[in-house]
């Protein structure tokens, strides 16, 4: 049983990582049902975004989050760096929305309003978040947190007999 429990914990681990990232980076984004126009814009955004674009967005997001009073002590970024990151991020947004995905962006605004543009970025955010979690340093940091979490308590608290039986049925046991 303990081997199965450990194996189950290992299977839960990616979900924990995803939840941590989702809470940290996307907690202010409201999930809504995407329209066809939003789906098309999402697809365009994913195709139009380069690795350099994702880096610019990641850097800007980090600095934006670091302005929160509870985080300010952990990042020292000067005004010139912030301004440069703002310019880089603005250039990425403008190029993607105005030059590469303008038809799709117009369709979203017509169908769903300006709010639909933000919703269309969710898929790109999810893909970028998944890529961030593949970074070895991020994985190491997450493992550092997990060594202080009593995974047995988590499993015993949330893995009810009903869920355990469902896992067995899914795994063919």
Query: pLDDT by residue (tens digit) across 26-63?
Result: 433 434 445 899 999 999 999 999 999 999 999 999 99
Are 47 and 7 members of one domain? no
One domain, residues 81 and 139: no
57 lies in the same domain as 113: yes
Total number of domains in the chain: 2
Are 82 and 62 contained in the same domain?
Answer: yes
pTM, full prediction:
0.64
pLDDT digits (tens, 9 = 90+) for 67-93: 999 999 999 999 999 999 999 999 999
Separation between Cα atoms, residue 28 and residue 45, nearest integer Å: 20
Q: Which domain holds residue 9?
A: 1-30+135-173
Are 96 and 49 contacting, i.e. CB atoms less than 8 angstroms apart? yes
In contact, 88 and 59? CB cutoff 8 Å: yes
Q: Are residues 123 and 51 in the same domain?
A: yes
Which tokens in the block code for residue 122? Answer: 């969710």
169 and 87 in a single domain? The answer is: no
CB 146 within 8 A of CB 79: no
Same domain flag for 91 and 147: no
């Amino acid at each position: 049983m303990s081997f199965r429990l450990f194996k189950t914990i290992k299977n839960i681990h990616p979900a924990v990582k995803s939840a941590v990232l989702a809470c940290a980076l996307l907690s202010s984004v409201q999930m809504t049902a995407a329209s066809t126009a939003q789906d098309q814009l999402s697809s365009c955004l994913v195709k139009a975004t380069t690795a350099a674009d994702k880096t610019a967005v990641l850097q800007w997001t980090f600095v934006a989050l670091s302005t929160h009073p509870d985080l300010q002590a952990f990042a020292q970024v000067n005004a010139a760096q912030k301004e440069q990151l703002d310019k880089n991020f603005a250039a990425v947004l403008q190029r993607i929305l105005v030059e590469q995905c303008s038809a799709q962006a117009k369709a979203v605004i017509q169908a769903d309003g300006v709010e639909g543009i933000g919703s269309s970025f969710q898929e790109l955010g999810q893909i970028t978040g998944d890529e961030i979690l593949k970074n070895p340093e991020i994985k190491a940091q997450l493992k550092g947190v997990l060594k202080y979490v009593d995974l047995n308590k988590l499993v015993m608290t949330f893995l009810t007999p009903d869920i355990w039986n469902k896992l067995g049925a899914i795994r063919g046991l």
